[in-house]
Structure 1
Amino acid sequence: MGSRLRSAVIARSGVALGAAGLVVFGLTVPAATAADNVLRADQAVTRACYSSLLPRNARGADQREITSTVDGLIQARLAPQSGAEGDWDLAVFDKATGGVVAGSSAFRSRELAESFVKKGQQLVVQACRYAGSARTVTLGVDFLALTKQGTPTGTAAPAAERAEMVRVETPERKDKQHLLGLGLDVTEKADATGVDVVLANDADRKTLRDSGLKFNTVDPDLSRTSRDNAAKDVAYAQKTPASALPSGRTTYRHLYEYEYELKELARKNPNLVRAFTAAEPTIEGRDVVGIEIATDVNNLADGKAIDFVMGVHHAREWPAGEHAIEWAYELVNGYRADPSIRSLVGKTRNIIVPIVNPDGFSISREAEPKGDFSRFDYEMKRKTCEPADSPPQFRTGVCMANPGGAQRGTDPNRNYAGFWGGNGAGLNWNSETFRGSQPFSEPETRNIRDIVSKRQVTNLITLHTFSGLVLRPPGVADVRPPLDEPTFKALGDKLASRNGYTSEPSWGLYDTTGTTEDWSYWATGGYGFTFEIGTVAFHPPYQDGVVAEYTGVAPALGAGKGGNRQAFLDMLANTADPAAHSTLIGSAPRGYQLKLHKTFQTPTSPVLQPDGTTKPPIYVTDTLDSTFAPTGGRFAWSVNPSTRPYVAGRYGRDPQGPHQAGVDLVNPPGVPAENTSYPSNPVAESMPFTVKGLPEVDNGRVDVSVQWASSNDDWDLFIFNSAGQLVGQSASGGTNSERATLFDPPPGNYTAVMVDFDQADPAHPDDWAGRVDFASPLPTTYGPKEAYTLTCSDRIGRTVGMTDVFVDRGQTIDVGEVCSTRGNKQPHRLVN
């Protein structure tokens, strides 16, 4: 977004429950219930704490009554006491209506329930002991004053402005880079010729107009669309007792519902589902939670291949979390009722983290449906809650009420180490794609790194919205495809055949750096994809964006093809296929432990700076450590290839002949009339050219380029094949040149079309000159082989065996008796 920032002072009303009663900035008010902030329950009761306001003295719960001192936010927190963790949940209710105001249901007793309240509103804070031995927890409550518009108290509310969605024409990579540098809110809905962009206000509209990029309006009033979608969700839920989803859900979940449902899946299926808390809490102190699904689920070191599905890196992309949790229900339900799913679950392990960014998601989900994309439109918050990278005047206040508004924070899907620092990420703190201060600066990305680095994650899907895409590495075209490209592409195409999306490399959308799979794949070799769910909005009506897209019914692109449900199943089948990863076999005693280890450094991109300069790459150290617990005798361990794709090489093809000689485009006499509505107005100049083929020439790339004298004039270039299909274009504006590039073009007759879009001085037209140049394909390159270090430890932790292991994708290597000295000296045998 543009520069819409102004300083603000947040009026904070600190609240603590102490022995003297309710204290608000030193003013003592009689407490309505017990006089301390320690809540007690003598027994655990399995219930959803947020589902209802319980009677006083209900088993397994404790309550405090308070009155809101502000129009603004309530923050209620639980913390464990003196080493006894347990699992307590928290909810805040309106006393008069009994309606839930806020909730938190994470897997421990570290809870944050946050939402909006009115001054004088009577509230009941309810804590529920769900499980564990901890009989007590500590409660803290804060109130934070806000204006009705969502700005902190003391800040003038900005005048309401109209937000719209436009499609910006970006026929060349340079156009996309130009667009990404404008600081606008660029969506993931894009293709080779354009990108959908949110314009939040008149300042954004001026920025885009001044850029010279061409655009047209897709949705003239996003605020109205957001309100309409919210109304559609209410109507759908009222008329639909249960949807076709595995859970039967009919509405978008709140964070506390995700948390509760995940741990209920684990409680009800103790041998199949394990709930876990990620290594680090968020900036706001929330736990990031997930589940693991497998037979004998608590044996984490059983050696099965792992499929990892995650959602909601970006807070406003609610369907991403819904699809992830429905996949969990799919596996649990299918294990009981579907033999094919039962078989796949038996062969794999499944890790599911529906909400990677719980701070941002909770804020987005609890905010009013404004949809105007203004600075304080928290519903459309995208990023994390990291304040440290903001200017000092914007670092104060909590994430849901701060002078930087929804703009503060880091884009977690630009914060991974893969090519971090290059094109396709924001350099300034208020950019919607801000990359963060350094790779893995955010606890949210470090949590995913921790899981992937400690487990053999052979398959990974990260879910986003919206553009109907199945994206694979690389995120930057100049990186070149990996050696896995043929099989990687085939798998992406198969997944896309189910959900109806377009399968392409991530750079086909636009250049992105610091993304999840561009780190996980290049560092570990595990296949990784991004799904961009749907085509219409960040969180469209639930019936469309979740039910239809998951199950594969109209209006989803995957209607009749299986939808994302079948795409997930195909990915799981690939996880179970030994040909898609690597396998170690051998012999080891029961009770011993095998460990695979690798440490390496990988450079980021040269690091772009806000002033346009570039600093040297940063070298990021990664350590991959995974373990296997033998059951005695022969074993099989599913792993990723030992050579990481970053050093393995790049895919290409050897030239089968010379490339074609370049030719000049023949400019017809005269200059055509100005035409701002091509192709509906066909007035233009057409120049044929021929792309030859084997055995005469082998063209890996064709560049059609044109130039003219002044950037005040504007010509547009379009390329058509012999069937009249548009195969390339360049129409950037504000330059004195255009260039369209075709990769591996089929031989045949082509036509270059030049459109006179604008002449500064029609009486003295600025004519063009052009050329077609050809280049050979780049051959495949191969890098060095890398090894894992495989060690064996006995029952008391002594290392009794060590060897290097080289294994490629699809290979099975027999490492022999790795836990004996004799086995360490025997050569490994390739089984297949």
Structure 2
Amino acid sequence: MHHASPSPFRRSLVPVAVGALLLGTLATGSATAEPGYGLYEIDGVTTPEERSEIAATGVAIDHVGEDSVLITGSTEDLDELDSLGYAARAFEPARTLASPDPGYTTYPELLEIIDQVVTDHPGIAAREVFGRSHEGRDLVAVKISDNVTVDEDRPEVLFVHSQHAREHLTVEMAVYLLHLLTDGYGEEPRITELVDGREIWILPNVNPDGSEYDMAGDTWRNWRKNRQPNEGSSAIGTDMNRNWAYNWGCCGGSSGNPSGTTYRGDAPESATEVKAVADFVRGRVVDGEQQITAAIDFHTYSELILWPFGHTYDETTGAMTQEEYDTHRALGEYMAEANGYTPQQSSDLYITDGSINDWLWADQGIVNFTYEMYPRSASGGGFYPPSSVIERETSRNEEAVLRLLDYADCPYRIIGEQDAYCG
């Protein structure tokens, strides 16, 4: 597949310390990698094309520097990289992983919080179970709207959290939004107006098996995938954010090896939880029209706001017109003004395939973004910042999220094309 080179403008947006995006495996704060895998650094890597070539070998890119990358890979991977001219050297983490921080919310605690929110705000908050995880945990959605028990013809907004198990700050973001949009109702005019005019869906943890496993040991386990066994392999888990049914496995942006941390599964939606979330989203189609107009998929880390596509460097494709791209970019930049994140197309970092980002747009027509939350680099704690930052880093996104909710009636309004798209 031919890829146009990204523009110099967009390439220059890549921050020096973009961390692991939604793609990496272990941050520099890791104690060890997966068994048989190690953490390595490759110098002299400066372009998305080079990073994509490295990722296509099956290694996970954990961290992008100005002229280097950190990767997790096996010795076999290193031989392949060497044949491509990339010399990897062992990287020694600056710090070891601590014990799981009790300031982070476990899944049983999250369910208690959800129940309390619904009990305290029965008129505007409702809980529903839309599926079950591989290990049988309830997958829960919370709906927030002024007439919550009625399916009204209003713009719907979706927030997805914790596809990747170790990204616990995203669950705290869900807890923050649950309280913001319910406790603020009737108190804050802007929030009241948005809850009255939208139907908001929060999926606070779509990978509970993985997140519970990650928190269950004496140290954080650096677990990324779900906990579903793979037939014919002793390796556990699928990378949920490589398992979506749009251009799945198309472009060298995921691993076909069950042991790989970016393993895409043996078929699109083969991950139990991905199928459940996809069915939930498809279930919001009423009379042939998708009711969800806008979405955010929350990840850590790197402080980025990303938009589709990840599978190609091109801005426009058969599935993305220039005006549609401009809408994503303008909204991404507008939200980034509020939280200080770096806005860019997902593939400006490197190629990925089978992501929810690409599927939500190309399959469902939902204007959507990936937020890569705090920290900006591994030095801030990587995937495991101290829980003392939770309040600061979740509230930091309040205005940015409200801006998306503001535009959910017609995202194309931000480029002045509301008549053409929403008339």
Q: TM over 0.5, yes or no?
A: yes
Q: Distance in 2 between matches of 1:454 and 1:514?
A: 20
Q: Distance in 2 between matches of 1:191 and 1:519?
A: 28
Quote the residue 1:175 is aligned against: 50
What letter matches 2:371 in structure 1? F
Q: Following superposition of structure 1 onto structure 2, how do residues 332-343 of structure 1 map, counting pairs within 5 Å?
A: 332-343=182-193
Q: Distance in 2 between matches of 1:426 and 1:531?
A: 23
Structure 2 contact 157–405 (Cα < 8 Å) conserved: yes
Residue of structure 2 aligned with 1:289, choices 140, 163, 166? 140
1:470 aligns with 2:305: yes
Quote the residue 1:197 is aligned against: 71
Deviation (angstroms), 1:570: 0.8
Deviation (angstroms), 1:442: 1.6
Q: Distance in 1 between matches of 2:35 and 2:230?
A: 29
Quote the residue 1:221 is aligned against: 93
Residues 101-147 of structure 1: CA deviation (Å, up to 9, x unaligned): xxxxxxxxxxxxxxxxxxxxxxxxxxxxxxxxxxxxxxxxxxxxxxx
Deviation (angstroms), 1:547: 2.6
What letter matches 1:469 in structure 2? L
Residue of structure 1 aligned with 2:165, choices 284, 295, 315? 315
Quote the residue 2:264 is aligned against: 435
Deviation (angstroms), 1:254: 0.7
What letter matches 1:547 in structure 2? E
Residue of structure 2 aligned with 1:568, choices 389, 401, 409? 401
Q: Distance in 2 between matches of 1:331 and 1:424?
A: 36
Q: Secondary structure at the match of 2:421?
A: coil
Structure 1 residues 362 and 478, CA gap change in structure 2 (3 angstroms): same
What letter matches 1:411 in structure 2? D
What letter matches 1:196 in structure 2? L
Q: Distance in 1 between matches of 2:311 and 2:36?
A: 35
Deviation (angstroms), 1:212: 3.4
What letter matches 1:226 in structure 2? L
Structure 1 contact 292–350 (Cα < 8 Å) conserved: yes
Deviation (angstroms), 1:178: 2.8
Quote the residue 1:498 is aligned against: 338
Structure 1 contact 163–220 (Cα < 8 Å) conserved: no
Quote the residue 2:237 is aligned against: 409
Structure 1 residues 468 and 159, CA gap change in structure 2 (3 angstroms): closer
What letter matches 1:197 in structure 2? I
Residues 705-762 of structure 1: CA deviation (Å, up to 9, x unaligned): xxxxxxxxxxxxxxxxxxxxxxxxxxxxxxxxxxxxxxxxxxxxxxxxxxxxxxxxxx
Structure 1 residues 258 and 488, CA gap change in structure 2 (3 angstroms): same
Q: Distance in 2 between matches of 1:361 and 1:580?
A: 38
Q: Secondary structure at the match of 1:549?
A: helix
Q: Distance in 1 between matches of 2:295 and 2:92?
A: 36
Structure 2 contact 367–411 (Cα < 8 Å) conserved: no
Quote the residue 2:359 is aligned against: 519
Deviation (angstroms), 1:334: 1.2
Deviation (angstroms), 1:263: 1.6
Q: Following superposition of structure 1 onto structure 2, how do residues 388-403 of structure 1 map, counting pairs within 5 Å?
A: 388-391=230-233, 394=234
Q: Distance in 1 between matches of 2:307 and 2:371?
A: 9
**Whose radius of gyration is greater, 1 or 2?**
1
Residues 450-475 of structure 1: CA deviation (Å, up to 9, x unaligned): 22212211111001111221110111
Q: Name the one with the larger strand percent.
A: 1
Q: Distance in 2 between matches of 1:166 and 1:498?
A: 33
What letter matches 1:476 in structure 2? H
Structure 1 contact 325–352 (Cα < 8 Å) conserved: no
Structure 1 contact 281–287 (Cα < 8 Å) conserved: yes
1:533 aligns with 2:145: no
Structure 1 residues 215 and 470, CA gap change in structure 2 (3 angstroms): farther
Quote the residue 1:606 is aligned against: none
Structure 1 residues 457 and 194, CA gap change in structure 2 (3 angstroms): farther
What letter matches 1:532 in structure 2? E
Q: Following superposition of structure 1 onto structure 2, how do residues 84-233 of structure 1 map, counting pairs within 5 Å?
A: 164=39, 166=41, 169-187=44-62, 189-190=63-64, 194-198=68-72, 212-213=85-86, 220-221=92-93, 224-227=95-98, 230=99
What letter matches 2:116 in structure 1? E
Q: How many positions carry a matched residue from both structures? A: 371
What letter matches 2:54 in structure 1? L
Quote the residue 1:346 is aligned against: 196
Q: Name the one with the larger helix percent.
A: 2
Q: Distance in 1 between matches of 2:55 and 2:311?
A: 14
Structure 1 contact 273–292 (Cα < 8 Å) conserved: yes
Structure 1 residues 172 and 354, CA gap change in structure 2 (3 angstroms): same
Q: Distance in 2 between matches of 1:272 and 1:501?
A: 31
Deviation (angstroms), 1:809: 2.0
Quote the residue 2:217 is aligned against: 367
Q: Distance in 1 between matches of 2:249 and 2:134?
A: 23
Structure 1 contact 389–429 (Cα < 8 Å) conserved: no
Deviation (angstroms), 1:488: 1.4
Structure 1 residues 571 and 163, CA gap change in structure 2 (3 angstroms): same
Q: Secondary structure at the match of 1:288?
A: strand
Residue of structure 2 aligned with 1:253, choices 105, 117, 131? 105
Deviation (angstroms), 1:216: 7.7
Structure 2 contact 228–271 (Cα < 8 Å) conserved: yes
Deviation (angstroms), 1:539: 2.2
Q: Secondary structure at the match of 1:432?
A: coil
Structure 1 contact 169–214 (Cα < 8 Å) conserved: no
Structure 1 residues 226 and 810, CA gap change in structure 2 (3 angstroms): same
Deviation (angstroms), 1:478: 5.0
Structure 1 residues 178 and 269, CA gap change in structure 2 (3 angstroms): same
1:810 aligns with 2:390: no
What letter matches 1:543 in structure 2? S
Structure 1 residues 195 and 335, CA gap change in structure 2 (3 angstroms): farther
Structure 1 residues 450 and 160, CA gap change in structure 2 (3 angstroms): closer
CA RMSD of aligned residues (A): 3.0
Q: Distance in 2 between matches of 1:580 and 1:514?
A: 29
Structure 1 residues 203 and 474, CA gap change in structure 2 (3 angstroms): closer
Structure 2 contact 238–262 (Cα < 8 Å) conserved: yes
Q: Following superposition of structure 1 onto structure 2, how do residues 373-388 of structure 1 map, counting pairs within 5 Å?
A: 379-388=221-230
Structure 1 residues 198 and 347, CA gap change in structure 2 (3 angstroms): same
Any unmatched runs of 5+ in structure 2? 1-32, 285-290
Deviation (angstroms), 1:428: 1.0
Q: Secondary structure at the match of 1:529?
A: strand
What letter matches 1:225 in structure 2? T
1:276 aligns with 2:128: yes
Q: Distance in 1 between matches of 2:136 and 2:368?
A: 29
Structure 1 residues 341 and 430, CA gap change in structure 2 (3 angstroms): same
Deviation (angstroms), 1:410: 0.7
Identity over aligned residues, as a percent?
27
Q: Distance in 1 between matches of 2:34 and 2:257?
A: 25
Deviation (angstroms), 1:573: 0.8
Q: Distance in 1 between matches of 2:158 and 2:138?
A: 19
Structure 1 residues 285 and 498, CA gap change in structure 2 (3 angstroms): same
Q: Distance in 1 between matches of 2:59 and 2:43?
A: 11
Structure 2 contact 41–68 (Cα < 8 Å) conserved: no
Quote the residue 2:179 is aligned against: 329
Q: Distance in 2 between matches of 1:159 and 1:317?
A: 17
Residue of structure 1 aligned with 2:154, choices 304, 328, 336? 304
Q: Distance in 1 between matches of 2:127 and 2:295?
A: 19
Structure 1 contact 425–513 (Cα < 8 Å) conserved: yes
Structure 1 contact 294–349 (Cα < 8 Å) conserved: yes
Q: Distance in 2 between matches of 1:296 and 1:313?
A: 29
